[in-house]
Amino acid sequence: MKFLLVGATMGLALISSIAQAQDIEAGKAVFRKCAACHNADTDANKVGPTLRGVIGRTAGTSPNYSYSQAMKAAGAAGLVWDEANLTEYLSDPKAKVPSNKMGFPGLKNPDEVENVIAYLKSIPK
């Protein structure tokens, strides 16, 4: 019985890691929608700020990027890009930070949001 339990536990761990890898790969594919304006694998800004290391960053604080006053104010008020805040922002940027300058209307599929966050989390800082 112990072997069955250990085997089942190892199997679940393997399935979990495979599912996570698929989420990251799916997120990388979703990120193509963002890549025209954002980098994720370098510190270089484009039309939008780099998203490398965005998880845990205070809004409006990526170096050498000219943020809107709305994004700077959101950061000054304590907005930090954790998973919950990114989920809200990526779903509807103008609702989360009104008057920000990002023109993208957001990702409407919750799976895409979750996967792109998994991808952003996977990128080394």
17 has a pLDDT exceeding 50: no
CATH number of 2-122: 1.10.760.10
For tokens 């199997």, name the residue: 11
| pLDDT for res 69 | 98
| pLDDT for res 16 | 44
Percent share of the chain, pLDDT over 70: 82
11 has a pLDDT exceeding 70: no
85 has a pLDDT exceeding 90: yes
What is the distance between the alpha carbons of residues 29 and 99, in angstroms, rounded to a whole number? 28
28 has a pLDDT exceeding 60: yes
Q: Report the chain's mean pLDDT, rounded to a whole number.
A: 88
CA dihedral 71, 72, 74, 76 (to 10 degrees): 170
Give the contacts of 52 (CB within 8 A, at least 6 positions apart).
39, 40, 41, 42, 43, 123, 125
| pLDDT for res 20 | 55
57 has a pLDDT exceeding 90: yes
| pLDDT for res 125 | 86
Domain spans, the chain: 2-122
Give the contacts of 82 (CB within 8 A, at least 6 positions apart).
55, 56
Confidence of residue 2 (pLDDT cuts 50, 70, 90): low
54 has a pLDDT exceeding 60: yes
What is the distance between the alpha carbons of residues 71 and 93, in angstroms, rounded to a whole number? 11
Burial class (CB in 10 A: 0-12, 13-18, 19+), 64: exposed
